[in-house]
Structure 1
């Protein structure tokens, strides 16, 4: 579909939330610790696509959506999402109280996901302005501490109430927000998944389709009791090379070289991944995008090679791996990380406006001209 969301002629900015909703925000208190994804902001953004056009998004109370039991998304999984963040501005580079990180890159990826699943595109300006307005209304809920954020979850799903195996003709676009810590606040243990596959060639592995994540649940559930936090997926064809974690891209520092698997139609093009590729050079690291053989990696770690493994993503930022395991009984500890903390520090300084960044990475909230 090529239809894009554009405000109707004569329409101004997205209408502000009611005074009652704003009062609800003022009354909220942030707990310590925040956790991740548990405390939901009381305002969300909402828009519907009907009769071949998008309505203008509006801010409304966080409340259940009406959805028919035979809605298309429930049966055929026509659903996508993005994960992105607004950070408290802690520096002097911008006057805005909060900064979105690379919102137009997230908008572009959202549209790539929509296109892959046969959904209507959303105008990127409307997408970003919707986020800005929501964050501006939720400013009190943008945490103050380094690495904390107001996590934003834009999503779209088919709502047409029919069971024919065709794309929906009606859609819901919604953005919810949750004040959160990073997904992982300490090093993690990763399980090398040798039985199941995350994505196959020609599938939806390189977009944020909801079903990509549900497919990992059966494999991950029994591992939590063993202390493992993430699955490390291998390629579907031979199960010999690293692809990514369930919720993060994967990096390996091998000596003075930083490695990550090259993008393909089975690996998500992470916004954080792309950011680290740009930040590695100033730290003096040689950066290579190339296949990484799991057996060679395990053998080298076991032999005492200078190696660290870490994941990166919007939710986690950067998470060092302290141990690898698999069904063969492998329990392989990794040495203390050295580069991952430096990359994390550099990225967080950019997130919070404490350091300059490439154009488009730091997006001040509330700087658009009022109508």
Structure 2
């Protein structure tokens, strides 16, 4: 698919001309050649503008490079595959919830908030320009990465006074289309009480890299983190919330300082009752889980997040030699299909979840 446009500014049109979707898409193989960019200076945000995907000029003593004052969001634009393409060729999924979470992250790291409407309009403008890069198969998407970082060139250990906001885009295949394996991390901790585990701070992810070595060594794919105090209770996967189904009950750990308020997590909590499931937010002891699997109970485990949507787990292991296969994850797959059908406009979405590009409202959303 080749991008062409005669209505764009010449600089942007030149960037887009001749760009083609790779095959397979993968993730991050092709970065869209256009991004949205704005700076915060003298106590106010500029209006985000479209610009080419060029290197940013940063001083070596830019504060974000030294003190990690950086946040991001992960979200997607989906091709509208429903019966009403007139509603818009592409759909943003719950963009205002992402805007609010972005601002919660900003507040936690001492950064200025960005008006929700400005945030969403920047997304919409970028997706509208990149429309031909929104892939057309169910599960595929144009992945969007809103980011903010402290841009002041100063080694003082104080918050920045200047900030950069940008939105990147990359056409993406569906993640984890096959069941995954999960490694219980029993030593390192992802986050502690009072820390930044409940927001999308960049450093949260860097802190997981060293702990990921056993994944490669033992052929596993995802870390399953336990709480930082007792190393007993399930918290999250590295980049996904965790759910456990026992019989007709769907369990997930309650939100806290150490658990991200996942938008996909919230979506599944709202959709679960329509599958006849009882939703329960409570601590889940890792031994409760492993004992139930070993006893042959009706148990499913899956992760969920913007990237993965829903990722069934087929094997759980750890450093002690524990290897617990799980049965087919039928509920997880049903939830995944329902959510993707909503995201692609195939089935009706709950109010406020689905926003056609070009038809977003003018004011903040409840």
TM range (shorter): over 0.9
Q: Is the 8 A contact 1:235 1:242 kept in 2?
A: yes
**Which of residues 231, 245, 249 is equivalent to 2:241?**
249
Q: Is the 8 A contact 1:99 1:362 kept in 2?
A: yes
Alignment correspondent of 2:155: 163
Alignment correspondent of 1:49: 40
Helix, strand or coil at the partner of 1:243 = strand
Instruction: Name whichever of 19-28 and 197-206 sits farther off.
Output: 19-28
Q: Is the 8 A contact 2:15 2:52 kept in 1?
A: no
Shift of 1:369: 9.2
Shift of 1:256: 1.1
Shift of 1:87: 0.1
Unaligned runs of 5+ in 2: 1-6
Find out whether 1:341 has 2:333 as its counterpart: yes
Unaligned runs of 5+ in 1: 1-15
Alignment correspondent of 1:228: 220
Q: Distance in 2 between matches of 1:368 and 1:266?
A: 33
Q: Is the 8 A contact 1:26 1:140 kept in 2?
A: no
**Which of residues 237, 240, 265 is equivalent to 2:229?**
237
Matches within 5 A, 1:10-89: 18-89=9-80
Deviation digits for residues 45-101 of structure 1 (CA, Å, limit 9, x no counterpart): 000011111111110000110111111001100000000000000112452000000
Alignment correspondent of 2:193: 201
Instruction: Name whichever of 219-228 and 110-119 sits farther off.
Output: 219-228
Alignment correspondent of 2:4: none
Matches within 5 A, 1:240-319: 240-319=232-311
Deviation digits for residues 228-266 of structure 1 (CA, Å, limit 9, x no counterpart): 111100011101110010000000011111100011110
Shift of 1:24: 3.5
Alignment correspondent of 1:6: none
Which structure 1 residue ranges, 4+ long, deviate > 6 Å from structure 2? none
**Which of residues 208, 218, 241 is equivalent to 1:216?**
208
Q: Is the 8 A contact 2:341 2:347 kept in 1?
A: yes
Shift of 1:19: 2.9
Matches within 5 A, 1:65-144: 65-93=56-84, 95=86, 96-144=88-136
Find out whether 1:324 has 2:316 as its counterpart: yes
Alignment correspondent of 1:3: none
Helix, strand or coil at the partner of 2:304 = strand
Helix, strand or coil at the partner of 1:127 = helix
Helix, strand or coil at the partner of 2:346 = coil
Helix, strand or coil at the partner of 1:197 = coil
Helix, strand or coil at the partner of 2:54 = coil
Q: TM-score, with normalisation over the residues of structure 2?
A: 0.95
Q: Is the 8 A contact 1:22 1:137 kept in 2?
A: no
Q: CA RMSD in A?
A: 1.4
Q: Would the alpha carbon gap of residues 98 and 285 (structure 1) be closer, same or farther in structure 2, given more than 3 Å must change?
A: same
Q: TM-score, with normalisation over the residues of structure 1?
A: 0.93
User: May I ask how many residue pairs the two structures share in their alignment?
Assistant: 355
Q: Distance in 2 between matches of 1:200 and 1:368?
A: 38
Helix, strand or coil at the partner of 2:152 = coil
